[in-house]
Structure 1
Amino acid sequence: MAIYKFADLPDCAELQPRLAKFCCGRGIKGTLILAPEGINGTVAGTEQAIDALADYLSAGPDFGSRLVGAEIKFSIASAMPFLRMKVRLKPEIVTLRAPEANPAKAVGTYVEPEDWNGLIERNDVVLVDTRNDYEVGLGTFQRALDPATKSFTEFKDYVETHLDPARDKKVAMFCTGGIRCEKASSYLLSKGFEEVFHLKGGILKYLETVPQEQSRFAGECFVFDERVSVGHGLVEGDATLCRACRHPLTSADRADPAYVEGVSCPHCSGDSAKHQAAAERQKQMELASKRGAAHMGDDAAAAAARAKEQKRQRAEASRQRNAGSS
């Protein structure tokens, strides 16, 4: 379960040990961030345990009704993807370092995925991607402005230098799952922008909801897990990660002479220290691969086919459950 909600949680320090105890007592693992402005994170456990956690957060005695309406996404994994349970206290659930941005008090207008195309095709709407440059590089909406940021905290500088409330009367924003653009919308409102819109559920909800033939999203959406990227229908994309610098790689990147599988890529071609560590890691992986029969010949193809089918079934189960929870 992935969850976020901007809510007034001034007692987050008191909530931390109670939430950790609740999760650990049910075998739930992952990371949840608590801050005075709300909750954010991803956890995994049995279906019964996750259902219990969802109920506890939405109507339990500790949180009351403060997390009602949280943005929640369910997915299914074949094995536990996390090593331990962590409940962390932070100043913000998504770091912008702008106290004037408070989505619990003021936020832009939510736009449902099925209404998004009509909004962003209007000539009087400025469309802004609030994600970082490496995410935008894999895919974005047509006509969207790229702030070219390395981190979300730099978004404030982009607003200061590229957007003007006197000129840009209507601004629409989007991000991966909705949390960054929700906070960005609050920030723009605090700076005097009149009409601010943001995509509810983010790109992921759009790709899950809008038919591909109607889509205005070009490319793939970067995700912060082992899939690296997803396309329409949330099907796993083509992107991979550079194991040296963790930058997402397109097929063009992998065709570049600077790309060496598991060792280097065009984005870190000058960093020899990273390459040395990555080369040793790749060597160990290759040795381990040679010891496994499932990595060779027909066995490898059969294993890949089974994995692909299992992934498809998990994705379909996730879509059905998310549809039932909406």
Structure 2
Amino acid sequence: MALHNRVSAAELKKRLALETIKRVTISFYQYAKIEDPQAFRDELYETLFKLDAFGRIYVAHEGINAQISVPEHHFETFKTKLYEVPFLNGIRLNIAVDDDGKSFFVLKIKVRDKIVADGIDDPTFDMANKGRYVDARAFNELSADPETVIVDMRNHYEFEVGHFEGAIEVPSDTFRDQLPMAVDMLADKKDKNIIMYCTGGIRCEKASAYMLHHGFKNVFHLEGGIIEYTNKAREQELPIKFKGKNFVFDDRLGERITDEIISECHQCGAPCDTHTNCVNDGCHLLFIQCAACAEKYNGCCSEACQTVHALPEEEQAALRKGVEKGLMFNKSRRRRKTAE
């Protein structure tokens, strides 16, 4: 069998729209030593393809990072197959909080240098020396202390639509930039209790190890991230201290945690936390847009993009040839302010 997809995205999306089966969106990760990432990747692709799984998975020498969608009737088989891998046996699976079953439409498994880009090149850095886990109950108890420092290790566009009460934002567009920034920002808090969190746990786990590596003493990280916290808090009927929406990196672009809307439309300022990508193929900027502005601008981030999007496809393609590639699919604050 071919170990990669050969069907067009348009056709795959059409097939997904016609599906009548129920799917479950799952995320998991594990830091572990993988001797041959390519061989592991190929074997995993064969297994998941046979289970009609979709998703995006990164494999590296340091482990695996996965976000996938599995047909509900294959879920137990998927779990069995996954747990047959020694370093994945019994691994925690984060089940999506707010799932429409349309999170992914294709299976992509890629070999990367790292499962999360961190910019760390210090040979003495050791992921084995990481912070202590806190679950939902422990998080609530520890965060109730006003001296506890809560640090959000996600990007600004994630923090913007939802975050924990009292959390500190590390204002950067990339995780690799956030790590040294967090060390600098918290330099005078090395003896305080510090809780780091992210979407599913992979970034805050590495961040906790990075902080310990730089001399911090009492570092914790939220087990399973926002997703696991929300599921456990609901199961145990605990107060949910996360407010708003949890941004996710799939076609949903977010899952509702609480009813609060803490952000606003980037175009008119109305309360809104709906992310979208500009429909202009020469832009695709990720931004927040309310329904009224989506209609007014035809799904574009600006009047300039709206004008371009209205042109015949041939003219749009000609214009894109002159677009600097670095400006496409850019989620940064700088890029959004330029569009505004």
| TM-score for the superposition, normalised by structure 1 | 0.70
* 1:95 paired residue number: 117
Q: Report the secondary structure of 1:43's partner residue.
A: strand
Q: Is the 8 A contact 2:244 2:260 kept in 1?
A: no
Moved more, 89-98 or 50-59: 50-59
Once residues 259 and 27 of structure 2 are traced to their aligned partners in structure 1, the CA distance between those partners, rounded to angstroms, is 15
Cα displacement string for residues 7-64 of structure 1 (whole angstroms, at most 9, x for unaligned residues): 22122222122112222233333222111111111223433544333222222xxx3x
* 1:134 paired residue number: 157
* 2:91 paired residue number: 70
Moved over 6 A (4+): 76-80, 233-237, 254-257
Match of 2:245 among 191, 208, 220: 220
Q: Is there any run of 5+ residues in structure 2 with no aligned partner, and where?
A: 1-25, 263-271, 279-283, 313-340
* 2:147 paired residue number: 124
Cα displacement string for residues 126-152 of structure 1 (whole angstroms, at most 9, x for unaligned residues): 211111111111121122111111111
Match of 1:40 among 60, 65, 71: 65
1:260 aligns with 2:309: no
Q: Is the 8 A contact 1:31 1:85 kept in 2?
A: yes
Q: 1:166 to 1:204 in 2, by over 3 A?
A: closer
Q: Is the 8 A contact 1:37 1:102 kept in 2?
A: no
Q: Is the 8 A contact 1:240 1:249 kept in 2?
A: yes
Once residues 79 and 159 of structure 1 are traced to their aligned partners in structure 2, the CA distance between those partners, rounded to angstroms, is 35
Superposition RMSD in Å: 3.4
Q: 1:193 to 1:88 in 2, by over 3 A?
A: same
Q: Is the 8 A contact 2:94 2:227 kept in 1?
A: no
* 1:290 paired residue number: none
Once residues 70 and 279 of structure 1 are traced to their aligned partners in structure 2, the CA distance between those partners, rounded to angstroms, is 49
Once residues 57 and 157 of structure 2 are traced to their aligned partners in structure 1, the CA distance between those partners, rounded to angstroms, is 25
Q: Is there any run of 5+ residues in structure 1 with no aligned partner, and where?
A: 282-326
Match of 1:23 among 43, 48, 52: 48
Match of 2:212 among 189, 196, 211: 189
Once residues 205 and 236 of structure 1 are traced to their aligned partners in structure 2, the CA distance between those partners, rounded to angstroms, is 21
Q: 1:54 to 1:213 in 2, by over 3 A?
A: closer
Q: 1:246 to 1:52 in 2, by over 3 A?
A: farther
Amino acid paired to 1:67 = L
Q: CA deviation at 1:230?
A: 2.7
Which protein has the bigger helix share? 1
Once residues 121 and 154 of structure 1 are traced to their aligned partners in structure 2, the CA distance between those partners, rounded to angstroms, is 29
Q: Is the 8 A contact 2:131 2:221 kept in 1?
A: yes
Q: Is the 8 A contact 2:27 2:200 kept in 1?
A: no
* 1:14 paired residue number: 39
Once residues 32 and 79 of structure 1 are traced to their aligned partners in structure 2, the CA distance between those partners, rounded to angstroms, is 18
Amino acid paired to 1:249 = I
Amino acid paired to 1:188 = M
* 1:286 paired residue number: none
Match of 2:274 among 231, 240, 251: 240
Q: Report the secondary structure of 2:168's partner residue.
A: coil
Once residues 279 and 71 of structure 1 are traced to their aligned partners in structure 2, the CA distance between those partners, rounded to angstroms, is 47
* 1:173 paired residue number: 196
Identity of aligned residues (%): 27
Amino acid paired to 2:197 = F
Q: Is the 8 A contact 2:244 2:257 kept in 1?
A: no
1:249 aligns with 2:274: no
Q: 1:10 to 1:102 in 2, by over 3 A?
A: farther
The number of aligned residues is: 268
Once residues 145 and 79 of structure 1 are traced to their aligned partners in structure 2, the CA distance between those partners, rounded to angstroms, is 32
Q: CA deviation at 1:3?
A: 1.9
Q: CA deviation at 1:280?
A: 6.4
Q: CA deviation at 1:262?
A: 0.5
Q: Is the 8 A contact 1:176 1:223 kept in 2?
A: yes
Q: 1:214 to 1:31 in 2, by over 3 A?
A: closer
Q: CA deviation at 1:120?
A: 1.4
Q: CA deviation at 1:81?
A: 5.1
Q: CA deviation at 1:231?
A: 3.0
Q: Is the 8 A contact 1:97 1:153 kept in 2?
A: yes
